[in-house]
Each structure stands twice: as structure tokens, then as C-alpha cells.
Amino acid sequence: MTNDTEQRGLPAALVTEFEELVAHYPERRAALIPALHRCQEELGGWLAPETLEACAEFFELEPVEVFGVASFYPMFHLRPVGKHVVGVCHNISCMLRGAEDVLAKACEVTGCERPGATSEDGAFTVLRVECQGTCTNAPMFDLDGTYHENLTLDDVERILGGAR
């Protein structure tokens, strides 16, 4: 631990990025949620306790405060997830066009026991998610941040089978 950056436990590149981000707002903590996104993207796909603590230090907040924010938002994972995260929309427009079948198929193809679970090989986590704002292209899932729309069960098999 030779410098500030390392003590904070955040990679220097992220610290630089966050310093730029906070300049957009009159208060530092406004950049917290965008920063948590970047941490999740760069630091293993989830927000480990050490990551939250490091963010607390950077944003000059109590760790419990940062935990409170992170736990409020469904996009943040507070436990490890699979290498690929599949979010299947189960809301009304998707349900009407077979979301539950998509969900079942997604679990089957990935080897996830049920929605919310991670496959034994750690390759996939399948989640139920709420409306993703693409209801006219239902049913859909989000695979690692990319939408796949107008799905048939064959698509599910092909896309998720190919991702492993």
C-alpha cells in the first residue's frame, strides 16, 4: 500500500474515471450509482463487500450507506453471479407472448435449477426481471447487457447454447 489509490482498493483507472464523473455534479455522491455500475462491470460482475467499502471511502460515505443504495437497485448483484447473466422479462407484454416458456427453456439450456440460480459450472445466472422497455418485441431477455428480442424457444437454445 504505497499510495492513496491502492488504499482505496479501487483500480487507479476507475479512480481517474470517477474523479471525472463527480465533476458533473454539485455533490460528489451523485456519481455513486454510475460508479457502482462501472465497478460491477470491471470487478467480477458483482459488488463485493470490499468494493462497496472502497466506494464508500471514495465517496466519503459510511459503508452502510453505500450498501443501502446498492441493495435498493435490482441491477446490482451483491452476491457472485455466473460468467453470463440472463435476465428474462416476465412482465405483462412478455408474459402474454410466452415469457414463462422462455424462462423455463433458459434454465434448461443453461443448467440453472430455477430462476435466480447459478449453474453448477458457474457459467450462467438466470434471473426474472421486470419490464425492460421493449414490450413490442416480446418475449425478450438481456444477455450480459445486450437485448435479444422476439424470441422463439429455438432462439433461446441457440443464443444461450452459443454463449457458454
Partner 1 sequence: MSYPTYLLDRTGLEDSHTLDVYRAAGGYTALKTILSGGHSPAQVIDMVKDSGLRGRGGAGFPTGLKWSFMPDPSKDPRERYLAVNADESEPGTCKDRILMQEDPHGLIEGILIACYAMRVRTAYVYVRGEFRLPYDRVAAAIEEARAAGLIGEKIMGSAFSCDIWMHKGAGAYICGEETGLMESLEGKRGHPRPKPPFPAGAGLWGQPTTVNNVETLFNAPFIVNRGADWYKSMGTAKSPGNVLVGISGHVEKPGVYEVPLGTSAKEILEDFAGGIWKGRKLKAWYPGGSSTGLLPASMIDLAMDHDSLKEAGSMLGTGAMVMLDDTACAVESMAVISRFYDHESCGQCSQCREGTQWLHQIFERIEAGDGRMEDIDLLSSLAHGMAPGKTICALADAAAIPTHAIVKHFRVELEEHVRLGGCPMKRTSERETVGAMGTRA
Q: Which residues here bind ligand FES, judged by CB under 6 A?
A: 89, 91-94, 131-132, 134-135, 138, 140
Nearer to ligand FES, 36 or 140 (CB): 140
Encode 81-115: b = buried (16+ Cβ within 10 Å), e = exposed: bbebbbbbbbeebbeebbbeebbbbbbebbbbeeb
Contact 161, 150 (CB under 8 A): no
Taking the chain, what is the end-to-end CA distance rounded to the nearest angstrom?
Answer: 38
Nearer to ligand FES, 55 or 94 (CB): 94
Residue 33 interacts with partner 1 (CB under 8 A): yes or no:
yes
Choose the stretch contacting partner 1; rule: CB under 8 A; options: 4-12, 32-40, 117-125, 151-159.
32-40
Strand order in the sheet with 84-89: 124-129, 84-89, 141-143, 146-148
Nearer to partner 1, 6 or 64 (CB): 64
- CA distances in angstroms from 12 to 35, 58, 69, listed in the order given: 13, 12, 23
Query: What is the pattern of x (binds partner 1, CB under 8 A) and - over residues 120-149?
Result: --------xxxxxxxxxxx---x--xxx--
What CA dihedral angle connects 145, 147, 135 and 125, to 10 degrees? Answer: -60
Nearer to partner 1, 82 or 87 (CB): 87
Residue 31 interacts with partner 1 (CB under 8 A): yes or no:
yes
Q: Which residues bind partner 1 (CB under 8 A)?
A: 24-27, 29-34, 36-37, 59, 68-69, 71-76, 87, 90-93, 95-98, 100-101, 104, 115-116, 128-138, 142, 145-147
